[in-house]
Amino acid sequence: MHENYLRGVYILIFPVVLSIGIVLIPVVSDYADHALASQAVNQTVRWFSGHVLAAVGFGLSVVSVSAINAHLRDQSYRLPAFILPVIAVGAGLYAAGLGADGIGPIAVRASASDPSLFFDGSGWWVSGTFMAAAAFFGICYQ
């Protein structure tokens, strides 16, 4: 009974922490408009803590999948062996992208520059990291 309760907590912690992180990040209606994104960065605590919590949430996805796999194993079924490593890579890439997107503009702002410099310069680095993360994370749902 206690083990099943812990598994339930491990499974729920991923979407809960991820959701809290996403809700904390100030809304930017159009990320292509770097001035709007720069204004959101001015809410530094929300911007930073939202990105960090979302990154932690993706990290916790590995814990959640492990708990699901343990439950399935008790039911005489196992997830394919490649699933957990692929999810871990996808989660790591999401965490890296969220870390860069969360810390980069704040660091630029702290140097007395406009955060839009980060958004202008990061371009495909951050976007590409998120795309790779989505590809790895998405492999598991095919």
How far apart CA 123 and CA 104 sit, in angstroms, is: 12
pLDDT, tens digit, for every residue of 95-122? 999 989 899 999 999 999 999 889 888 8
Within 25-139, where are the H helices? 34-41, 44-74, 83-110, 116-139
φ, ψ of residue 77 to 5 degrees: the values are -135, 145
Long-range CB pairs of 112-121, under 8 A, 24+ apart, other chains included: 114/38, 115/37, 115/38, 115/41, 116/34, 116/35, 116/37, 116/38, 119/31, 119/34, 119/37, 119/38, 120/34
Query: For the whole model, what pTM was predicted?
Result: 0.85
Cα torsion 13, 14, 16, 18: sign: positive
Residue 122 confidence (pLDDT): 86
Position 141 pLDDT exceeds 70: no
Position 24 pLDDT exceeds 90: yes
User: In what helix (H) or strand (E) does residue 8 lie, and over which residues does it extend?
Assistant: helix 2-24
pLDDT, tens digit, for every residue of 3-21? 888 888 999 999 999 999 9
How far apart CA 139 and CA 142 sit, in angstroms, is: 6
Domain count, the chain: 1
Residue 1 confidence (pLDDT): 62
Residue 138 confidence (pLDDT): 79
Residue 142 confidence (pLDDT): 54
Q: What domain range is 117 assigned to?
A: 2-139
Residue 30 confidence (pLDDT): 87
pLDDT, tens digit, for every residue of 59-88? 999 999 999 999 888 888 888 888 889 989
Are the beta carbons of 12 and 61 closer than 8 angstroms?
Answer: no
Using pLDDT thresholds of 50, 70 and 90, give the confidence band for residue 51: very high
